[in-house]
Amino acid sequence: MFLKRNPTSILSLDGEWKFRTDEGRRGEKIGFMHPGLKDADWPLMKIPVNWHLDQLKDYSGAVWFRKRFSKPKTKHGKATLRFNGVDYYAEVWLNGRYLGSHEGYFAPFEFEVTNLLKDENLLVVKVDSPWEKKGVWPDHKTLVKGVYSHHDCRPGSVSLKEGQKGNTGGIWNSVQLIFTSKIKIDKLLIHQKFLPDGTVAMRPQLYLRNLEPTNLEADISLEICGANFKTKHIKLKRRAKLTPGQNGLTLAHSIKKPKLWWPWDCGPQNLYSVKVKVSVNGKLSDEVKSRFGVRKLEVDREGYWHINGVRFFPKGTNIIHTQWLSEMNREKYERDLKLVKDCNINITRVHAHVEREELYDVADEMGILIWQDFALQWSYDEGDWFMKKTVPILKDMIHTFFNHPSIVVWCCHNEPPIKLKRLDKVLYRVAKKLDETRYIHLASEFKEHPYPGWYHGHFYMYAGILGGPFPTEFGAQALMNLESMKKTFKQKDLWPPNWSKWAFHDFQYEPTFHVAKIKMGKSIGEFIENSQDYQAKLLKFAIESYRRRKYNGITGIFQFMFVDCWPAITWSVVDYFRKPKKGYFTLQKVFSPLYMILTPPRDEFSQCSGFFGDFTIINDLHKEFKKAGYRWWVETPSGKIFFEKKGTINIPADSVKTVYPFVPMEVVSFPRDAEVGEWKIKGTIKHEGETIAENEETFKLFSRPKKA
């Protein structure tokens, strides 16, 4: 878990470390962990970093790291060595003494090292991020890394030969020595339960580590106040006897009228600050700070989502911010989530992986809901041994990020095969037991991921609301903008396309040309235009189809994918260089909180044909608009108004309202001499003199033979 401490109690071990690869895995025989080993010729790597981004591009396997440091002068008598993120297997030695090992990539881990510290010290870490052998990878994987070891948006895509390129191994997050006195605070989990009268019962759960070999009496104080609003301070105190090692302790308090945390489109993002102090014999032993939000998330029997008792419609996207976590920071997460929010998205699915702590901090502050996947993607080993090692990693995820109000879902697996249902059910039960405040999703299954118009059929099939009631993936690929394509490919590979190089960067040839039937055109510019146009059209039709059926067969949606995690050609609407594609602006438009779907849902007509006249108003706002005035009209290519309807309508809060200005089934017909060219359908809605929604669509009208 990430807790804030006084900087004076922390010694950062970040910076230059010596390293050496161990292709033959002989490092332990040679004695790479021994202080007496001569390492003057070892190169330097600046930690933290994923080694692929430094000097070990595409390296898979074991790497040894060595760091010398001096013991600082401190009034605290106990020292804990903390790693905030190592990918994937780690073994640790301090001054030649073996401390232990850790498996995983996202969770912090620690060792108590008080008695091993000297004035001058040597820290040695062996990090192993292996290439899984053919036969193990891809159908019997053993590394719990999700999309970081297997995915169709990563280097090499799903290729058996190259699908594990761009290895994510390394000491990718900071390394620290934490100094405390006899008692150290390991975790603080803020459990909360809403009572019928609106009171929230708080149960702060503390994990305290007694670093002495004997029992100790400790005084614990906990203080809660508003982090971004003013409120009275809540103070709790407790005395407890702590045995050597980790101790669990639960406090209790009720808040009668809590300030609630809301997603950005429903209300303010009220956050509470909590400070915990532990003292022994009147002397401060440790002190930490954290934040939490009070909010209640429910998914009812019909599948409708409620936040703090208010029904809402999740408008989501899938996201993998980066392939290599060391390249992200708070500023970059703020940039990405601003793009998300500006797109009218209220929830993101962190897709089959776990991100840095900074992401969840920013989401808390910006009011972006998080559907958090566990790091399982597709197939894994079926043995009980794999289940036994996977459960603790799931627990690490839930405990590490427990206090973030933005996280409202834990999902156990992405697209599992049927044979792994037993694993997913075990993970589901564990998650349910650990966290009663969030919705637990067994698995995001293939049936929730419709891809008509990309892997099969035509995108018009979305009219049948495929993947319902809650599609968690849908979309189509699109090429990057020209500037980004030039950054990614050498000119000789860009045009004409070098298909093998493009495939390594995730481009899918078959769906592009033989399902979507996208035309290449005569230049890379034309190809980009055609590709982005197709993605935008598919997203528009799919989302309009889903939103039209809001609360009537569809309870929420997640578009796939928001941003590229490396320079690639994928389903994203924003590329790796954070340049939006046309699909981004389509998403921004069709996810508008107050949106009009205008007919006709066709691109082409001919003289003497016609279309049904209706339009649908979707209101995601929790606000009613009474006696709103609407105007709906059709313009010819020369700007003449061919047809027009006006009227008033009551628009209920959080609703879908279909308007029929004609008799049902009446057709608007184009005369034989109707002007050919591009026609426009426009609509506006005004309320109390203010335009609250407007939209415009186009279609082409063609001439028709006289005898046709």
In SS3 terms, 112-137 reads as ECHHHCCCEEEEEEEEEECCCCECCE
> What pLDDT was estimated at residue 432?
98
Buried b (16+ CB within 10 A) or exposed e, 548-568: bbbbeebbbbbbbbbbbbbbb
> What pLDDT was estimated at residue 665?
62
The owner of tokens 């979305």 is 462
Residue 702, amino acid: F
Q: Give the pairing of strands 200-210 and 253-255.
A: antiparallel
The owner of tokens 């966290």 is 435
Q: Environment class of residue 387 by beta-carbon count within 10 Å: exposed (0-12), middle (13-18) or buried (19+)?
A: middle
The answer to whether 405 touches 438, Cβ cutoff 8 Å, is no
Crossing angle of helices 421-434 and 384-400, in 10° steps, is 30
Question: Which parts of the chain sit beneath pLDDT 50?
Answer: none
Eight-class DSSP state of 241: E
Cβ neighbours, 10 Å, residue 20: 16
Residues 6+ apart with CB under 8 A from 230: none
Closest CA to 412 of 442, 446, 392, 449: 442
The CATH code of domain 594-702 reads: 2.60.40.10
Peptide bond connecting 661 to the previous residue in cis, omega within 30 degrees of 0: no
Buried b (16+ CB within 10 A) or exposed e, 285-304: bbbbebbbbbbbbebeeeee
> What pLDDT was estimated at residue 706?
84
The answer to whether 376 touches 415, Cβ cutoff 8 Å, is no
> What pLDDT was estimated at residue 600?
75
Topology of the domain covering 314-590: TIM Barrel (3.20.20)
Peptide bond connecting 496 to the previous residue in cis, omega within 30 degrees of 0: yes
> What pLDDT was estimated at residue 349?
98
Using CA atoms, how far residue 124 sits from 35, 117, 610, in Å, is 9, 13, 75
Q: Do 185-292 and 594-702 come out as alike in CATH topology?
A: yes
> What pLDDT was estimated at residue 662?
57
The answer to whether 649 touches 628, Cβ cutoff 8 Å, is yes
Domain locations along the chain = 7-131+167-179, 185-292, 314-590, 594-702
DSSP for 290-352, written as a single string: EEE-B--EEE-TT--EEETTEEE--EEEEE---SSGGG--HHHHHHHHHHHHHTT--EEEETT
pTM above 0.95, yes or no: yes
φ, ψ dihedrals at 463, nearest 5° = -60, -25
> What pLDDT was estimated at residue 615?
85
Match domain 7-131+167-179 to its CATH number in 2.40.160.20, 2.60.120.260, 3.30.70.100, 3.40.630.10.
Answer: 2.60.120.260
The owner of tokens 């301090």 is 94
> What pLDDT was estimated at residue 635?
96
φ, ψ dihedrals at 446, nearest 5° = -55, -35
pLDDT digits (tens, 9 = 90+) for 498-525: 999 999 999 999 999 999 999 999 999 9
End-to-end CA distance of the chain: 72
For residue 384, what are its two tokens?
Answer: 């009980």
The answer to whether 564 touches 575, Cβ cutoff 8 Å, is yes
Instruction: Compute the distance between CA of residue 3 and CA of residue 286 in angstroms, rounded to an integer.
Output: 12
> What pLDDT was estimated at residue 514?
98
Over the Cα atoms of the chain, what is R_g? 29
| Domain 185-292 part of CATH 2.60.40.1530 | no
> What pLDDT was estimated at residue 663?
59
Using CA atoms, how far residue 22 sits from 17, 30, 481, in Å, is 16, 11, 41
Residue 36, amino acid: G
